[in-house]
Amino acid sequence: MTIAELLHQRDGAYTREMLLAPGGFGLGVVPDRERPDATTASTCGFCSTGCSLNVHLKDGVAVGLTPNTEYPVNLGMACPKGWEALNVLKAADRATTPLIKNAQGKFEPVDWDIAMRTFCSRMKQIQREHGPNSVAWLGTGQIATEEMALLGSLAKFGMGVLHGDGNTRQCMATAVVAYKQSFGFDAPPYTYQDFEETDCMVLVGANVCIAHPILWERVMRNKRSPEIIVVDPRRTETAMNATQHLAIQPKSDLALFYGLAHILIQNDWLDHDYIAAHTNGFDEFAAHVKPFTPEAVSATTGISIESLYKVARTIHERERVSFWWTMGVNQSYEGTRTAQALINLALMTGNMGRPGTGANSITGQCNAMGSRLYSNTTNLLGGREFTSEADRREVSNILGIDKKKIPTQNSWAYPEIMKGILEGKIKGLWVIATNPSHSWINQTQARDILDRLDFLVVQDMYSSTETAREADLILPAAGWGEKEGTFINSERRIGLHKKVAKAPGEALADFHIFKLIAHYWGCEDLFIEWRSPEATFQIMKRLSAGQPCDITGIRDYQHLDEVGGIQWPFVEGVDGRALRVESEEAEDLPSASDPQPFSQRRLFEDGRYHHADGRAKFLFEAPRPMPEPPSAEYPFILLTGRGTAAQWHTQTRTAKSAVLRKLSPQSVYVEISPDDARSLAIRPQDWVSVSSQRGTLRARAFVTPTVQPGQVFIAMHYEEANQLTDAVFDPYSRQPSYKACAVKVTRSAS
Ligand SMILES: Nc1nc2c(c(=O)[nH]1)N[C@H]1C(S)=C(S)[C@@H](COP(=O)(O)OP(=O)(O)OC[C@H]3O[C@@H](n4cnc5c(=O)[nH]c(N)nc54)[C@H](O)[C@@H]3O)O[C@H]1N2
Ligand SMILES: Nc1nc2c(c(=O)[nH]1)N[C@H]1C(S)=C(S)[C@@H](COP(=O)(O)OP(=O)(O)OC[C@H]3O[C@@H](n4cnc5c(=O)[nH]c(N)nc54)[C@H](O)[C@@H]3O)O[C@H]1N2
Ligand code: SF4
Ligand SMILES: [Mo]
């Protein structure tokens, strides 16, 4: 049977023509068929800010875009990546057909039928020879929630593959675990309006100006003259705009926050009512922070005693204090406790649930939040637990699948999957929308590990990524703009993105690739109802019912489109009641120009958390030394992170835009302080070698006072960066500690 015939047999909804026709298949909110020259709004597919972009169509195909002025997130603004989102789709290295590596190591184009047969026969053969768990997958925070839900369900319920994790392990795992333990559910509580409503923001390990530029624009709209306290070892673009910059010693954050708690307690700058009514464990926490005296903390962090008091006093005096953190916290060997130390500060001062307050993790990828709830990796669909019998029963009832198909144990986390490959337990790996041969920690080891696989499949938009080049099979994927679905942004807002362009060649939406695999694997009967992304969205709604992330009040894609995205929870009959009013009263529907009550919603306004007793927990632990401190041989601490607003991660996308290439350095550079440069006789733009115990790279020196003596910084966008990093992890979240290891720097001959 040909693939066309195979695809035809599913109730006419799924033909090859439909999959591959220009502008053809699966447009939930059909911009092109009915209004071929209209403009349609679509949520950006880069960062977690979730800006809305107006895509302008001609004959149903995108010809340009401008930021949406009506959307409550970006209010008419976009960063360079958003403006260039359509242009990164046009590239010579787009994967346009499936590719199989032949015996000579060369890629040969094949059709989808051969690709699918190869995928299934190789994976099944590995499972037969080495057991069902010898196959694993690595997913992403950058595909639609519907695609994540289908992938996780296909892998676990359909293919019997237990181990799968996402690149969100590299990114958000710490915040997830911190929230779950402290609040009882993974629930970032804020709304972006809080950037405008706060009168004191504490930004920790977050370079918002570069990584979330449109959120910084929201800060700039704040009319309360907010105190902006930035905690970052570097004088980042964000720190330059701070009213107080605490240039702490790397990884001394935990001591710093315990020290601030100590001062707040010492001066009785506490909200006793809030602590008594809504929390557990405060007395133990107070005892724990007793030894963190200003003197001791000043010595550890390098922050003066006066500055410590000043920050504590500011937190006490301001009415609406908000605590924000990103990768400077999450990517640490003690990240979970550090995030919780910030949560503790918010709880003890009663800075929760009110406008402009909160303990707020800013997420990274466009759909990190979707992956947290629906990827079916470490959580069972809808924020449930695989280990809970009741949760498994619920999911089995909602999906109508046999309970025995739902694993009773958690998947291995990303580092355990890597270890599993190293130990020969995993032989087949399927990588979807992530580029581990660049982004995973300690590449010397990571590449050796990936080399050991019997079968590596990479599903990506481009055939040229560092990981795709190593693959045995490449599955060509459509990208943002070439397919539709929903993303969930940092403030829990579900936004819609749309198909406005045809994917090149035979590239397919990930959703359709998963459907094809289900078919060839022989488990498509489990997914009959998952007909399209929008049908899957209706399944997600059912999976959310009664959960803290309940979205049963959202009608459909059109509803999301009409009101400018909707934040969870949005419960049918509660939040959703006005929205079930049908057409003649349609003016009752909230719109983006009517921002309350629907377009800005924060959590925990009633002080009730998700633990059984409704209280939040104070959690804490003694700080530990840095796993690889500087030494005589490796005297510098290497920091890594985002370089410019124009570069996205491993640059598979952003490097394709001529505009974005002009806005960022093309090859790897290392930021070093003027003092250190002088003592090493390094001049600006000199070639230098940077080595750790794991590898060496050559880079141009960028001499800048923004880094402290004894520290250097390399942006993660360059393949070389992770040749130096040290594979250590937070014990609770198992997130990699990308941000600190020991290196040496020497001037190298030209
Ligand atoms: N332009 C652009 N924007 C992006 C991305 C991108 O690739 N490019 N990626 C997106 C993603 S997925 C993410 S996760 C976010 C990341 O957003 P951010 O976390 O804001 O970005 P990073 O630069 O990785 O790290 C933030 C800061 O942590 C600091 N830091 C390092 N060590 C420590 C420490 O010990 N303590 C403290 N307090 N700070 C420390 C670094 O100096 C750095 O300035 O950005 C998102 N936005
Ligand atoms: N040293 C160091 N390393 C880091 C970090 C750091 O701060 N320092 N940060 C870490 C963090 S926070 C993150 S999030 C990771 C990011 O690491 P990665 O996830 O590896 O980075 P990306 O470049 O975003 O990779 C996404 C891949 O998906 C492809 N893609 C894009 N859209 C689609 C789609 O719709 N479908 C499919 N199938 N493919 C698609 C892209 O072409 C690209 O190859 O890096 C981590 N690595
Ligand atoms: S800030 Fe983020 S969501 Fe907004 S346009 Fe830029 S990349 Fe897209
Ligand atoms: Mo990230």
Residue 714 pLDDT > 50: yes
- Token pair of 213 as six digits: 């530029």
d(CA 617, CA 597): 29
Give 114 Cα–ligand 3 centroid separation in angstroms: 38
Ordered structural domains, the chain, with CATH: 99-171+374-554 (3.40.50.740), 174-361 (3.40.228.10), 636-747 (2.40.40.20)
* Res 562: pLDDT: 87
Ligand 2 binding pocket includes 692 (Cβ within 6 Å): no
**Residues of the chain with pLDDT > 90: what percent?**
89
**Local confidence band at 598 (pLDDT 50, 70, 90 cut-offs):** low
Mutate to test the pocket of ligand 3, among 75, 192, 214 (most ligand atoms within 8 A of CB): 214
- Token pair of 689 as six digits: 């070698």
Contact 362, 368 (CB under 8 A): no
Query: What ligand 1 atom has the least distance to the C-alpha of 210?
Result: 1
* Res 102: pLDDT: 96
Q: What is the average per-residue pLDDT within 390-396?
A: 98
Give the tens place of pLDDT for each residue, 522-535.
999 999 999 999 99
Q: How many CB atoms lie within 10 A of CB 597?
A: 10
Query: What ligand 3 atom has the least distance to the C-alpha of 67?
Result: 5
* Res 61: pLDDT: 83
* Res 542: pLDDT: 98
Render the burial of 472-509: b for 16+ CB within 10 Å, e for the rest.
Answer: bbbbbbbbbbbbbbbbbbbbbbbbbbbbbbbbbebbbb
Ligand 2 binding pocket includes 477 (Cβ within 6 Å): yes
Q: What is the DSSP string of 217-241?
A: HHHHT--S--EEEEE-SS--HHHHT
Query: What ligand 2 atom has the least distance to the C-alpha of 439?
Result: 47
Query: What is the side-by-side order of every strand in the sheet holding 493-497?
Result: 485-488, 493-497, 566-567
Secondary element (H or E) of residue 313: helix 305-317
Give the tens place of pLDDT for each residue, 272-312.
999 999 999 999 999 999 999 999 999 999 999 999 999 99
* Res 34: pLDDT: 60
Give 138 Cα–ligand 4 centroid separation in angstroms: 15
Give 417 Cα–ligand 3 centroid separation in angstroms: 31
Ligand 1 binding pocket includes 251 (Cβ within 6 Å): yes
* Res 595: pLDDT: 42
β-strand partners of 66: 54
Smallest Cα–Cα separation from 85: which of 656, 546, 674, 547? 656
Ligand 1 binding pocket includes 647 (Cβ within 6 Å): yes
Give the tens place of pLDDT for each residue, 621-668.
999 999 999 999 999 999 999 999 999 999 999 999 999 999 999 999
Ligand 1 binding pocket includes 365 (Cβ within 6 Å): yes
* Res 601: pLDDT: 87
Residue 347 pLDDT > 70: yes
Q: What is the mean pLDDT of the chain?
A: 93
Residue 175 pLDDT > 80: yes
Render the burial of 612-621: b for 16+ CB within 10 Å, e for the rest.
Answer: eeebbbbbbb
Ligand 2 binding pocket includes 364 (Cβ within 6 Å): yes
Report the SS3 class of residue 581. coil
Give the tens place of pLDDT for each residue, 536-594.
999 999 999 999 999 999 999 999 998 889 999 999 988 765 443 333 444 444 444 44
Q: How many CB atoms lie within 10 A of CB 714?
A: 25
* Res 60: pLDDT: 77
Query: What ligand 1 atom has the least distance to the C-alpha of 740?
Result: 32
Residue with tokens 């007395």: 283
Give 613 Cα–ligand 3 centroid separation in angstroms: 39
* Res 451: pLDDT: 96
**Local confidence band at 29 (pLDDT 50, 70, 90 cut-offs):** very low
* Res 599: pLDDT: 67
* Res 419: pLDDT: 97
Ligand 1 binding pocket includes 351 (Cβ within 6 Å): no
- Please, which residues have CB within 8 angstroms of residue 306's CB and are 6 or more apart in sequence? none
* Res 600: pLDDT: 80
- Token pair of 709 as six digits: 């003596």
Contact 228, 239 (CB under 8 A): no
Give 732 Cα–ligand 2 centroid separation in angstroms: 23
Residue 33 pLDDT > 60: no
Pocket of ligand 3 (CB under 6 A): 44, 46-47, 49-51, 74, 78-79, 81-82, 213-214
* Res 631: pLDDT: 98
* Res 53: pLDDT: 98
d(CA 146, CA 166): 15
- Please, which residues have CB within 8 angstroms of residue 340's CB and are 6 or more apart in sequence? 178, 181, 182, 619, 620
Give 67 Cα–ligand 3 centroid separation in angstroms: 10
Give 481 Cα–ligand 3 centroid separation in angstroms: 14
Give 371 Cα–ligand 1 centroid separation in angstroms: 19
Report the SS3 class of residue 380. strand
Full-model pTM:
0.95
Give 298 Cα–ligand 1 centroid separation in angstroms: 24
Helices and strands: H and E segment counts in the chain: 28, 26
Report the SS3 class of residue 109. strand
Mutate to test the pocket of ligand 2, among 167, 330, 712 (most ligand atoms within 8 A of CB): 167
Smallest Cα–Cα separation from 182: which of 353, 290, 339, 331? 339
